[in-house]
Structure 1
Amino acid sequence: MLLVAVCSDSIGSEAVSLGFVTNQGDDSVYVFDTKSKPSFLKKINVGASPAGICVSETLGKVFVSNTKGNSISVIDISRLEVTNTLKFEGSSVGLGFSEATNELFVSDWFNDRVLVFNIESSAISHEINVGKAPAGVAVSKKGLVFVINRDSDSISVVSIEKKSVIAEIIVGSHPFGARLNPSETSLYVTNVQSNDVSIVDVADFSSTLRVKVGKKPYSIAFSKDGLKAYVTNQYSDSVSVIDTTSNEVTNTLSVGGFPEGIEVHNNNIYVVNWMDEEMQIVNENNVAVERLLPLGSNPRNFVNFSSPRFKLQ
């Protein structure tokens, strides 16, 4: 779902940034140089129907969920190639990584569970039952995993320490995507059928506020300061801009066909348009489209990653 920014000093003395985008229709991940003028670098073949994506900042790995491949592809950031494949029986969608425990949390769509992978052994260490059709996954630094259950209209809150569900939160209709704000005080959840965003207070797991956005909201990204939330609306071909202080929509950006993944990096808003098979780069300051980059077939998502410790080989 996602763009990945990677800092490296392997090209001269300058750091470089990389973007990784999943292409569900041709079983690949595209890699882009996103430092100044974004450009295509490499295509990486992965498993069948890749959708979700996340990173480990400490390990320098990108994890890709292959929804029809019964697997997770592991990409080494320095080598820009798949170096491991985590296999299991199920259909992975959302992914989240705990840096504290080196564990990968995977939502298994058809089996209503979350699988926990020990990355050192590449083995499943735990299976946790959650709600129906789990999709998005958000991992907090406070030891919690938020699992979005689309067909239960709920969130399962998992304790990383206990490996069990400690709370259930009711949200809008058919929730799918989720993102913690930069301070991790609030969780924003897209509700696809009710066309709104639920805002969850992480301190007490309460969800009392819902913000109306466009049709079929999918993904969320935040500005670096956390003062704005950007929501892709698949059926409106738009991005809703939410002021996170007032929690009101203050602007709506027109984008390409069927926008899904979204991220903010270096004052640019990256929007992955599924229908147009392109990545739209919008200047965050003047909301002007600065660049369009072609993607693979049916692109889905991207994710952010930044670390000066990894170099490209």
Structure 2
Amino acid sequence: MKKIFFLLLLTFCIPNGYGQTYKLSKKINITGDEGWDYLSVDEEAQHLFVSHGSVVNVVDLKTDKTIATIPDTKGVHGIAIANDLNKAFISNGKENSISIINLNTFELIEKVKIEGVKPDAILYDQFSHKVFAYNAKSNDATVLDANSNKIIKTIVLGGKPEFSVTNKKGLIYVNIEDKNEIKTINASTLEVVNTWSIAPGDEPSGLALDMETNRLFSVCSNNLMVILDAGNGKIIKTLPIGSGCDGVAFDAKRKLIFSSNGEGTITVVKEENASTFSVLETIKTQKGARTIALNKTTNQLYLPTAEFGAKPEPTTENPKPRPAILPNSFVVLVIESGIE
């Protein structure tokens, strides 16, 4: 009788089939002790591209083994996958360049020097066949023709751009971190067509989009997720998230939004409909796991991190020191659920 009651409780109390907690299932060990930023999934090949200081590690997700290390990507931040062109575009923040890689061989096709300073997040828009590299120190975006690898334009953004998403219909959205804004770019004309405040959100970083409900999910450093209407910029809802977030992923099949928080958690938000959102749970991860990628094929989440030593004392030369990464501790966390 108790078992039957428990099953009925699960059936009626857990929203829309969300019946099992996500959890850390394993860690993928990767050689190297440098820092990291974004990571990206090649869904067709089931390869994971991981930014790692001056290289990009490529992991075969069927075996969890590193199958390639792409060199000479100094200060790498982001990797944009273009399966239709068999290319990956990699932003090299320390040398103001974009490396273009063959997805099959992982060999360099071309390295493009750009005028923008410190390219960070990078986006491939299949609708327009353009690549958008967002330059953190020059407050603009470098646009490449993804077919020819040639620079088309530099778009002035008036603030520090962070992560970006496409609606795959001609519009690009990008967080502007120091202005607490989201800007909309027309992918055909390459003009900024909208600028929206996300206040009370502060210092937005990660950005995701539900193309069905037309909702943007912007995660901010003041522990807020701001949900906006991607058509008019109206704020629909704000929700609490963990601290130190730098990424967000959206699972379109389950209508779940995942905020990756550097404190060592993931905040899971459920989208019931276009106007109803709620925090479902907090998943424990590991300190430093602040960026995230979703595998749409397996529903797994990936977060890079490492273990850290003691934080050094501030100096004049380095007023905000970071703790050293402990040797051989760099991993990619794999988070998953048993829900099908």
Same fold by TM-score greater than 0.5: yes
> Post-superposition shift, 1:206?
1.6
TM-score, structure 1 as length reference: 0.82
| % same residue | 21
1:135-158 Cα offsets, whole Å, 9 max, x none, are: 112122121111211111101111
Q: How many residues in Structure 1 have an aligned counterpart in Structure 2?
A: 273
Q: Flag the structure with more relative contact order, 1 or 2, with Cα contacts below 8 A and sequence separation at least 6.
A: 1
Gaps of 5+ in 1: 8-15, 287-313
> Post-superposition shift, 1:6?
4.2
CA distance in 1, matches of 2:280, 2:107: 41
Gaps of 5+ in 2: 1-37, 308-328
Structure with the largest fraction of strand: 1
CA distance in 2, matches of 1:282, 1:132: 34
Q: Which structure would you say has the larger Rg?
A: 2
> Post-superposition shift, 1:241?
0.7
**Native 8 Å contact 1:60 1:76 kept in 2:** yes
Q: Which residue of 2 aligns with 1:233?
A: 261
> Post-superposition shift, 1:55?
1.2
Q: Which residue of 2 aligns with 1:219?
A: 247
1:208-257 Cα offsets, whole Å, 9 max, x none, are: 421110012111112241411111111x2111111122422111111112
Q: Which one of the candidate residues 299, 302, 314 is aligned to 1:270?
A: 302
CA distance in 2, matches of 1:258, 1:51: 16
> Post-superposition shift, 1:107?
1.0
CA distance in 2, matches of 1:274, 1:82: 28
* C-alpha RMSD over aligned residues: 1.8
Q: Which amino acid aligns with 1:254?
A: K
TM-score, structure 2 as length reference: 0.76
**Native 8 Å contact 1:169 1:207 kept in 2:** no
**Native 8 Å contact 2:167 2:211 kept in 1:** no
Runs of 4+ in 1 over 3 A off after TM superposition: none
CA distance in 2, matches of 1:184, 1:44: 38
Q: Which residue of 2 aligns with 1:153?
A: 180
Q: Which one of the candidate residues 137, 146, 155 is aligned to 1:128?
A: 155
**Native 8 Å contact 2:76 2:93 kept in 1:** yes
Q: Which residue of 1 aligns with 2:31?
A: none
**Native 8 Å contact 2:41 2:294 kept in 1:** no
Q: Which one of the candidate residues 261, 281, 290 is aligned to 1:251?
A: 281
Structure with the largest fraction of helix: 2
CA distance in 2, matches of 1:270, 1:183: 24
**Native 8 Å contact 2:164 2:172 kept in 1:** yes
Correspondence 1:74 to 2:103: no
CA distance in 1, matches of 2:336, 2:125: 31
SS in 1 for 2:178: helix
**Native 8 Å contact 2:180 2:197 kept in 1:** yes
CA distance in 1, matches of 2:73, 2:47: 21
Greater mean alpha carbon deviation, residues 122-131 or residues 158-167: 122-131
Alignment of 1:94-243 (within 5 A): 94-171=121-198, 172-181=201-210, 183=212, 185-192=214-221, 194-234=222-262, 236-243=263-270
Q: Which one of the candidate residues 78, 83, 86 is aligned to 1:60?
A: 86
CA distance in 1, matches of 2:196, 2:236: 10
